[in-house]
């Protein structure tokens, strides 16, 4: 895959806090794919999402979008950031209505009132939240809040959707709803999705490709089928079989 | 009847009869403290937000200074402002001493650190999560700042309520720089001191009740704003 073919490409990305948390020689993400990012706690999964989202600058290395180096500050960074969205592990909905939460990113992009209505209404309907449009977001249940957070993130049609454990602490019914939302929205909008999950079964269910990260390094990356049935690395096999000791 | 009972009756008589002298004192108090709290809000909220968004280790000294000024005794603030604006002071030429403007300056000096300090604490408690969520949704710096202020509105209104409570009830500073001149700089607190000294306890108690009532009304209004929000466009 050439730099131009990849939506996002990372080269020699390193990040260190008190110890090295990320050291990625090369990673390319294709357009329209769903990536499952798996690995034990502290593997660097969230840091990787933050670096891709340009929220955290890497210590060294380069990041490319459509083959063009990503600016790390200024207006150009904001322009690029507006092409992607990140849903955090701990969802924070603003103390406002569901509608205004979903409209937030559109307002940030100066969409008109009419355009916002045309986007938010159908989206809330699509995620089954239209009846709660005028409810205060801080009164929603965990599953509802996560649905609103994802709707808010996709409202402005990002090219890249980054999800950090979007179904953590949810019941099976809500997990199913969220998974269907993610796969449906990704297919329909040709969005690239990178989803961090600790649930390998979930990664197998919804990801086209799986990235296995451990101690800041990519141990293995490949199609979900290959990673779960015939991985190249023994470490990967142990992890997906739930037998990895760390 | 006890002095307290007579005072309460006198208070209601003054309120019902819309006593001109009393109304003048009440309106002057509200005008001075109202303007002071507006100015303090315009200074304190942005300052507190700015400090709250910065890493704590970078603002440690400023934090300590603000927390110290939050507890400034009103008479000390009044004395300092008196020395600055009295005829012999560096700003004496402006002729501010014993004017409502001087009283507003004194009250701004007392309320601003309270609003800035409490806003800073409120913003800091929410800060990183709100800022990162807003940024991840494509908000520019202006919208990020507005969002953090909106999200911290309960703390910020709490700060404004506290600041207002401090200055509407304050007597030392306004007495020193205002001079308690009848019809010009006499506000409720200074009037209470004067009436008490003259033995007019009924009027002093009456003014005290009105002061409490006004404080209750203003704080109820701010409290309702604080509890509001969540409506859609």
The residue of chain B with its CA nearest to that of A90 is: B129
Q: How many residues does chain A have?
A: 246
Determine the Cα–Cα distance for residues B113 and B163; give it in Å rounded to an integer. 9
Q: Which of A88, A92, A108 is facing B138, going by the closest CB pair?
A: A108
- Chain B residue numbers with beta carbons less than 8 Å from the beta carbon of A134 are 231-232
In the numeric block, which tokens belong to residue A241?
A: 């079989």
Distance from CA of B60 to the nearest CA of A (A): 23
Q: Is the pLDDT of residue B103 over 60?
A: yes
**pLDDT bucket at A3, cuts 50 / 70 / 90:** low
The average pLDDT across A60-75 equals 86
Among the listed ranges B38-47, B49-58, B96-105, which one has the minimum average pLDDT value?
Answer: B49-58
Nearest to A119 by CA among A135, A106, A128: A106
Tell me, what's the pLDDT at A89? 84
The average pLDDT across A44-70 equals 91
CATH architecture, range B3-227: Orthogonal Bundle (1.10)
Cβ pairs bridging A and B (under 8 Å): 73
Tell me, what's the pLDDT at B231? 41
Domain borders along chain B are 3-227
A129 in Cβ contact with A151 (< 8 Å): yes
The average pLDDT across A172-200 equals 89
Domains and CATH numbers, chain A: 6-240 (3.40.50.300)
Distance from CA of A75 to the nearest CA of B (A): 9
Asked if A88's CB is within 8 angstroms of B133's CB, the reply is yes
The average pLDDT across A6-15 equals 91
Distance from CA of A150 to the nearest CA of B (A): 11
Alpha-carbon torsion, ordered A180, A27, A43, A85, to 10 deg: -50
A26 in Cβ contact with A217 (< 8 Å): no
What's the pLDDT tens digit per position in B162-191?
999 999 999 999 999 999 999 899 999 999
Distance from CA of A25 to the nearest CA of B (A): 25
Distance from CA of A128 to the nearest CA of B (A): 18
What's the pLDDT tens digit per position in B62-96?
999 999 999 999 999 999 999 999 999 999 999 99
Determine the Cα–Cα distance for residues A153 and B99; give it in Å rounded to an integer. 55
Asked if B138's CB is within 8 angstroms of A78's CB, the reply is yes
**pLDDT bucket at A213, cuts 50 / 70 / 90:** very high
Q: Which of B136, B153, B232 is facing A100, going by the closest CB pair?
A: B232
Among the listed ranges A143-157, A198-212, B53-67, B193-207, which one has the minimum average pLDDT value?
Answer: B193-207
Instruction: For chain A, list residues whose CB is within 8 angstroms of any CB belonging to chain B.
Output: 53, 55, 78, 81-82, 85-88, 90, 92, 94-100, 103-105, 107-109, 113, 133-134, 136-138, 152-153, 156
Among the listed ranges A8-12, A185-189, B46-50, which one has the minimum average pLDDT value?
Answer: A185-189
Rounded mean pLDDT of chain B? 89
Determine the Cα–Cα distance for residues A200 and A180; give it in Å rounded to an integer. 17
Q: Which of A53, A100, A134 is facing B136, going by the closest CB pair?
A: A53
């Amino acid at each position: 895959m050439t730099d131009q073919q990849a939506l996002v490409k990372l080269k020699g990305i390193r990040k260190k806090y008190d110890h090295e948390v990320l050291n990625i020689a090369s990673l390319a993400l294709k357009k329209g794919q769903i990536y499952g990012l798996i690995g034990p706690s502290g593997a660097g999964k969230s840091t990787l999402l933050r670096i891709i989202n340009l929220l955290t600058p890497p210590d060294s290395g380069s990041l490319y979008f459509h083959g063009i180096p990503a600016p790390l500050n200024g207006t150009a960074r904001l322009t690029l950031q507006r092409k992607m969205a990140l849903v955090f592990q701990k969802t924070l909905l603003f103390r406002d209505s569901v509608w205004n939460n979903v409209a937030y990113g559109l307002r940030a992009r100066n969409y008109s009132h009419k355009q916002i209505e045309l986007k938010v209404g159908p989206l809330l309907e699509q995620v089954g939240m239209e009846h709660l449009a005028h409810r205060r977001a801080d009164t929603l249940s965990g599953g509802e809040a996560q649905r609103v957070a994802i709707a808010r993130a996709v409202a402005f049609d990002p090219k890249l959707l980054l999800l950090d454990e979007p179904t953590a602490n949810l019941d099976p019914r809500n997990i199913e709803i969220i998974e269907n939302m993610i796969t449906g929205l990704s297919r329909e909008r040709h969005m690239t999705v990178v989803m961090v999950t600790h649930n390998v079964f979930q990664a197998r269910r919804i990801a086209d490709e799986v990235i296995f990260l451990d101690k800041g390094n990519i141990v293995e990356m490949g199609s979900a089928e290959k990673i779960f049935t015939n991985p190249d690395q023994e470490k990967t096999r142990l992890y997906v079989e739930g037998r990895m000791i760390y | 009847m006890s002095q307290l009972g007579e005072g309460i009756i006198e208070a209601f008589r003054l309120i019902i009869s819309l006593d001109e002298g009393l109304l003048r004192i009440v309106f002057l108090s509200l005008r001075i403290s109202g303007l002071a709290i507006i100015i303090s809000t315009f200074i304190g909220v942005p300052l507190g937000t700015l400090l709250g968004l910065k890493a704590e280790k970078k603002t440690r000294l400023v934090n300590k200074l603000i927390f110290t000024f939050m507890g400034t005794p009103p008479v000390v603030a009044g004395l300092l402002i008196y020395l600055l604006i009295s005829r012999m002071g560096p700003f004496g030429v402006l002729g501010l001493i014993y004017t409502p403007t001087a009283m507003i300056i004194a009250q701004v000096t007392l309320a601003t650190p309270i609003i800035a300090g409490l806003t800073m604490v409120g913003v800091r408690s929410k800060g990183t999560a709100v800022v990162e969520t807003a940024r991840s949704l494509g908000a520019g710096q202006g919208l990020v700042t507005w969002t953090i202020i909106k999200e911290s509105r309960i703390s910020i209104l709490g700060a404004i309520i506290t600041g207002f409570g401090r200055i509407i009830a304050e007597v030392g500073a306004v007495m020193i720089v205002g001079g308690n001149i009848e019809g010009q700089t006499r506000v409720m607190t200074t009037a209470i001191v004067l009436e008490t000294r003259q033995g007019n306890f009924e009027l002093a108690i009456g003014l005290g009740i009105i002061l409490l009532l006004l404080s209750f009304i203003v704080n109820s209004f701010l409290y309702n704003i604080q509890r509001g929000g969540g409506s859609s466009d």
